[in-house]
Amino acid sequence: MKITVQKYGGTSLATPELRAKVCDIIRNSVDDGYNVVVVVSAIGRDKDPYATDTLLNLARSINPLISNRELDYLMACGETISGIILAAQLATLGLETQFLNGEQAGIVTDGNYGDAHILYVNKERIVNALNQGVIPIVAGFQGVSETGELTTLGRGGSDTTASALGVALNADFIDIFTDVEGVMTADPRIVDNARLLNEITYNEICQLAHDGAKIVHPRAIEIAMRANIPLRIRSTFNQTTGTLVTNKMSNVDNIRIINDTIVTGVTYSSDLSQFNISLVKDNEGKGLLVFKALALANISVDFINIGTNDIKFTVPYTLTSKTEAVLKNMGILPEVELGCAKVAVVGAAMMGIPGVMAKVIEALSKKDIPIIQSGDSYTNIWCLIKKEYMTIAIKALHDIFELGK
């Protein structure tokens, strides 16, 4: 049985015209002999009427202390609406569809409301639908806990739904349809001459996603990568093949350089706060305890530098006061640098390749951009800078590594 799982993002479903394009793609896949499983996100973005953020703000404006359990029920509504709407539109073309919510689609998660992880997939119901020639239209971003509560999977969670289903069904492809042509050398909303990458490795796209490129959720990549199911990032708006995500790295002794370049793309993550804690005097010996306390409070920290005399780390801006409160409880008064952003260059095997870091520093210093903190790994080099320099920094890095068209 040829199976393809197709995930459609919110902007791809926003208008009847766009949904008609989505219906065409599904119709063509059926005509090509594929059994199609469709996963949908909520319609629109930010302030659109059914977007998840709109629903969230509606509830929080009434009661900021609304429980996470109930917030999840509310946030999951957007996908239900878009799923039903798309199913209705597909039915007008004579295709037989069945809407399934997360639970009905067999997505079983842990009980972490708002950011649940998928534990396993009960695929029977979807398989039955496919066997009967029915197209399941699955509400993305939602699942059910083992105690029967509805859960949501966090921002970008529909990508994860699609990947988990693709793996459970051993699909031929997981196709993530979105509003750009595919994975590009930088966010095309910021860099005009960003170039489409026809191929990228799982590792690189994972690194891009972890470093902030919200084109696809990193968890979705990890799930597909483990089962080695081919994943494509494609445009809903035109017929291009998009970006194919492959595992080529593992075949070539980890030294293959994609596109003949060491750097594949530039990415960013904005709105970060940097914490700086002195470990001398009153705070002596508290280093490890800080990270334990933050973990207990469910605050995930990033960009950790541990020195003999101080520790540095960043948290998303939205967690700044929560983090300060945890530290205050421990008698720690940190220095906090608000308004930071991370820019990162990502590539297949850049660690130890001479000159990459030097080029990063050259690009930023030519634009007089101070580097607050930096670090590297096997697949990336990142710098923490002030947010106001972010756009200039991204463009400068994109230019110096000649990534453009």
Q: Binding residues for ligand ADP, per CB under 6 A? A: 9-12, 41, 156, 178-180, 183-184, 186-189, 213-215, 265
CA proximity to 19, closest of 83, 95, 76: 83
| Residue whose CB is less far from ligand ADP, 183 or 390 | 183
CA proximity to 176, closest of 133, 251, 230, 126: 230
DSSP, collapsed to helix, strand or coil, labels residue 49 as coil
Residue with tokens 């320099």, as numbered in its chain: 389
Q: If contact means CB under 5 to 8 A according to the sort of partner, which of ligand ADP, Mg ion, none does residue 82 touch?
A: none
In the complex, the smallest distance separating the C-beta of residue 195 from ligand ADP, rounded to whole angstroms, is 10
| 184 DSSP assignment | B
β-sheet bridge partners, residue 107: 121
Q: If contact means CB under 5 to 8 A according to the sort of partner, which of ligand ADP, Mg ion, none does residue 183 touch?
A: ligand ADP
| Residue whose CB is less far from ligand ADP, 42 or 311 | 42
**Which residues 307-336 are close enough to bind Mg ion by CB under 5 A?**
none
Q: Does 157 bind Mg ion (CB under 5 A)?
A: no
| Residue whose CB is less far from Mg ion, 143 or 156 | 156
Calpha distance 211→342 (Å, rounded): 8
- Take residue 307 and report the two structure tokens written for it: 């020195």
Contact 220, 176 (CB under 8 A): yes
In the complex, the smallest distance separating the C-beta of residue 159 from Mg ion, rounded to whole angstroms, is 6
In the complex, the smallest distance separating the C-beta of residue 230 from ligand ADP, rounded to whole angstroms, is 19
Contact 341, 390 (CB under 8 A): yes
In the complex, the smallest distance separating the C-beta of residue 395 from ligand ADP, rounded to whole angstroms, is 14
| Residue whose CB is less far from ligand ADP, 22 or 369 | 22
- Identify the residue among 156, 242, 265, 347 touching Mg ion (CB under 5 A): 156
Calpha distance 90→64 (Å, rounded): 38
In the complex, the smallest distance separating the C-beta of residue 11 from ligand ADP, rounded to whole angstroms, is 5
Backbone angles phi, psi at 8, to 5 degrees: -115, 125
User: Given the rule CB under 5 A, which residues bind Mg ion?
Assistant: 156
